Amino acid sequence: MQILRRSVITLALGAVSWTGVAQAALVQTDFNNLNTGVLRGQTAAGTGMTGDWSSNSGVPDVTAAVGDLTAPVSTGFALTQSGIAAQAIVLDNSAERQNGVDLTAALTGTVWGSFLVNTNGGGTAGLGFNNPVSNASLADRPRLMASGTDLIFNAGAGADVVASDALLSSGDSLVLFRVVFDGSTGFTIDAWVNPDLTSPLPSAQLSASSTNVNSLSLSRLAVGGASGVSGNSYIDFITLSDNENAFEEVTGLPIPEPGSLCLFGIGVVLSFKRFRR
């Protein structure tokens, strides 16, 4: 019985130490309470960001405007926005512009993220990873973009990875993604559009990887539009987390995968039976 107690205590301590390995970091912005107009130069209101939205572009292609995007009801997305409703509008995407902001702490390991987007069936808007202030565009760095009804990832070089016809042609869409940084060569990314968050996730609609030299962690986040597509598009309510409950932090719902808890319970039962023998 003493050995059994020690084993259970060891399992419990192991679980505690495993959950405490990583430092929690949450990044979130819904652009609410910003002044309407040019995003560049405005303080990045939200969580986990520092300084102003910035870019070397002299053209105000990214602006803040009144109104919030909303996720389709079918997704079950449970996060809510507060404050004076606002969103980022990417104007004249054919010029390819971005505004970025530094993160208070770099995100590493497994990072879950979500954002709302509306391309009006033809525009382009999305996120850029680690784009410096010196970049006027999202080029040369990894980026996850909604373009028309397609979801696109580019590692900063090479061909796009495309999930065709994944977004709604009209109305707002929810993009959920998971980035896994390996700490040495880059990261892998999986993304879903308008998934049912109350059920186990299906296979990702987009899966890709990046070995870009700037892909070992996420320390700066940009919003913008890619070149070649004209028309206004909208992005809102961006959330990222590398916490152990990151999925819940970016969706408002616990991850619908109870298998890990079952496996832990089975492990305890097997240990109990083994020591009884």
Contact 191/137 with Cβ under 8 angstroms? no
- Lookup: tokens for 239: 């959330």
12 domain-assigned: no
**Spatial distance between the Cα atoms of 111 and 26, rounded to a whole number of angstroms:** 10
Q: Check whether 191 has a pLDDT greater than 60.
A: yes
CATH of the domain at 48: 2.60.120.200
In a domain, residue 15? The reply is no
Residue 108 falls within a domain, yes or no?
yes
- Average pLDDT over the chain reads 82
For residue range 145-178, list pLDDT tens digits in order.
999 999 999 998 889 999 999 999 889 999 999 9
pLDDT in tens, 26-45: 999 999 999 988 888 899 88
Q: Could you tell me if residue 151 is inside a domain?
A: yes
The residue-averaged pLDDT of 184-199 equals 96
Q: How far is CA 59 from CA 65, 101, 124, 260, 263, in A?
A: 17, 17, 17, 50, 55
**Domain presence at residue 32:** yes
Q: What was the pLDDT predicted at 10? A: 40
Residue partners of 188: CB distance under 8 A and separation at least 6: 179, 180, 182, 207, 208, 209
Distance CA 152, CA 141 (A): 13
pLDDT mean over 72-92 = 91
Q: 20 lies in a domain?
A: no
Tell me if 122 is assigned to some domain.
yes
Other C-beta atoms within 10 Å of 261: how many? 9
Predicted local confidence at residue 138, as pLDDT: 65
133 neighbors 40 (Cβ within 8 angstroms): no
Q: How confident is the model at residue 246 (pLDDT cuts 50, 70, 90)?
A: very high
How many domains does the chain fold into?
A: 1
Domain residue limits at 165: 25-257
Q: Is there a domain that residue 105 lies in?
A: yes
